[in-house]
Structure 1
Amino acid sequence: MLKQPRAVWAVAFACVIAFMGIGLVDPILKPIADDLGASPSQVSLLFTSYMAVMGVAMLITGVVSSRIGAKRTLLAGLALIIVFSALAGASDTVGAIVGFRAGWGLGNALFIATALATIVMSASGSVAQSIILFEAALGLGIAAGPIVGGQLGSISWKAPFFGVAVLMTIALVATAFLLPATPPAARKTSIADPFRALRHRGLLTVAVTALFYNMGFFTLLAFAPFPLDMSASQVGWVFFGWGLLLALTSVWLAPVLQRRIGTVPAILAALGFFAADLAFMAVLTDSKLALVIGIVLAGAFLGVNNTLITEAVMGAAPVERPVASAAYSFVRFSGGAVAPWAAARLGEEVNVHAPFWMGTGVVVLAMVVLLVGRRSLPGHAARPSATDEAELIAVGDLD
């Protein structure tokens, strides 16, 4: 698996940097708020704008890549990330940073939508090995994001933004020179296809489950740094532990649980433990030790759930896998867009415990939705083929 062409390593490196963008701003949320005199809810919009634009953009990435080809789509996404991350670092107002994070989300969507498809196309070895390589890059990026953001953020909250721009520039140059040209797809997709796919109850069930689950996910990610009240470097280390556990369980533990108890039971178990973990943090929000333990442990439940809820999409509707994934991603990222702002407002208007109680409630709602609609998921206990996984993640599924 490690004997790959240079083009594959170039795209894999870019994947690591792209996935770093998810947790990169976590350690610098409070420093940005302190330096610019902003409230937590204002700073939380850095997540909201990023996730909202990424979700909407997932609807058009297939349209774009099927017309201009994978390589041009990758390069366009990388170029947008470079421009908007640098502009965010050069900004002096929260509003400007929020706007530039939205542009960053568009670039991320275009890049991630075609990254795995490119790796599978260019890699030597089996499709399964290509997926493992991609998932390794995903896990490394998610784990590295907070620690890079924390260490650079200890210098200045602007430094992580400029750091991403530099790293992505290297990735763009490597991709441009090492990746062969790719032609447009034979079949051009329509932006209406994902909306039609949501008419199928199975896909709608998984998508709404993911919407509520992602609200809990991003409540933890966007609000926890405020009650932690630590330095950027310290917050980075805490979320590094979270990301590392997430990466390990998504690659190794999730498949084991799926084989032993089935996809839906394993998802319900992961959601139940995650809800309990958020409730634990809601009760003990005043204890930094409890918050640290709760955040790191959450990574285990999130990793299992991310992988298995993605795989549940496979047989959720009798439509093309890329179309199903685009519809699913659009709905679930809506939760990631709403939750950061809602959690921060609750923290400001009620108390620091309220956001975690909100997270607990929405994750329980996700469990209810899945329980009610589980019979509409035919074959949910079966593990999909490596080819199906490639198709799903290639159209932009971050999980």
Structure 2
Amino acid sequence: MSVRKRTWKAAEGVEKTAWVVNYTDQAGKRRLKTFDKKKAADDFDATVRNEVQAGIHTPDRASVTVGEAGDRWLASCESIGLERTTIDAYRSHLDLHIKPFLGARKLSQLTVPMITDFERKLRDGTETEKPRSAAMVKRVRADLGSLLANAQEEGLVARNVVREVRAKRRRGKERQAERRAKPKLRVGVDIPTPLEIRAIVGVLQGKWRPLFLTVIFTGLRASELRGLRWVNVDLAKRELHVRERADEYNQLGRPKSESGERSIPLPPVVVSALREWKLQCPKTELGLVFPSPVEDVEIIGRDYIVKRGLWPAHIAAGITKIGKDSNGKVTDVAKYPGLHSLRHFFASWCINRKVDGGLELPPKVVQERLGHSTIAMTLDIYGHLFPRHDDSEELAAAEKALLG
């Protein structure tokens, strides 16, 4: 390997200079790469020496663009059977966020400063691209890292520069900043209060009573509720088993993570409601607990549950706030418009002290009931809801001992 200076005269008679790196790759093929500045040539020479020695060097001519690598990554995701909704999200991130900035770049040309600049442009926006949220930037960066990891496995690139960016950052500092930017869930704002839940339960009728009682007292995700089958409900043992979920394409499949498969005990009010509902429930091929009322569609839609069941229950119970309807008219709307608010309530009910009407469960049990992959996730979301000891008496005793 060598770095040499090359000088020549252009057609207009002007003398020009460049720096050429001459090397042989791990396959024994001679390669040349030209740079405008000697420092850049020296840096490349040092890098390529290590890569050739390790047998991982990928020349620019043998490399593909980020856009091409992205398409290969999506094909790989499809081949291993990832859910359609997951692949759709990956494709959206690739087409809308990665390709506009990096699509034409060769994988071998990517550098750590280039990735840092890419994140800045996503975050701040450009003349032609709108700024992305911090959460979206994080997701896109993760997808770009997965794209490069797949390219590494296929031998298309030597380095995963996204992983190098992450390694150089103080992950603790970054996580603290994310937590500061994301406000904590508040009872009465994001989480229904026990009195509000009591009011909602009091107005539930027909099929909505067993459905919402199930959500309130099991904390099922919408996808888990929509994919719940009678074979997974054991009324004799008062247990509900989460073993399947329905995606946005109305396809049943296993939960996304191993921790998503779980068993949840059922309180008497839910058991009683489900027993009555089982006698009336329409029979379906899949044996769904809450099937769709729409003809030729077996799995009930999330929007149908929210708009036909949750919102009217809020209005009937008087749990409302001032908002606008679909026509833009100012009116009373549901205070907690999303189905996930009931899952938040279930978490708070598991956490609350028994004297306050809760179950007062340990954090690990709460994690298992919710189906979170880690206890850190449970504590990040709901840690502030766990009861604190009253230190007032201890503080008074310490103050007296100190001051007399």
**TM-score, normalised to structure 2's length?**
0.22
Structure number with higher strand proportion: 2
Structure number with higher helix proportion: 1
**TM-score, normalised to structure 1's length?**
0.23
**Bigger Rg, which one:** 2
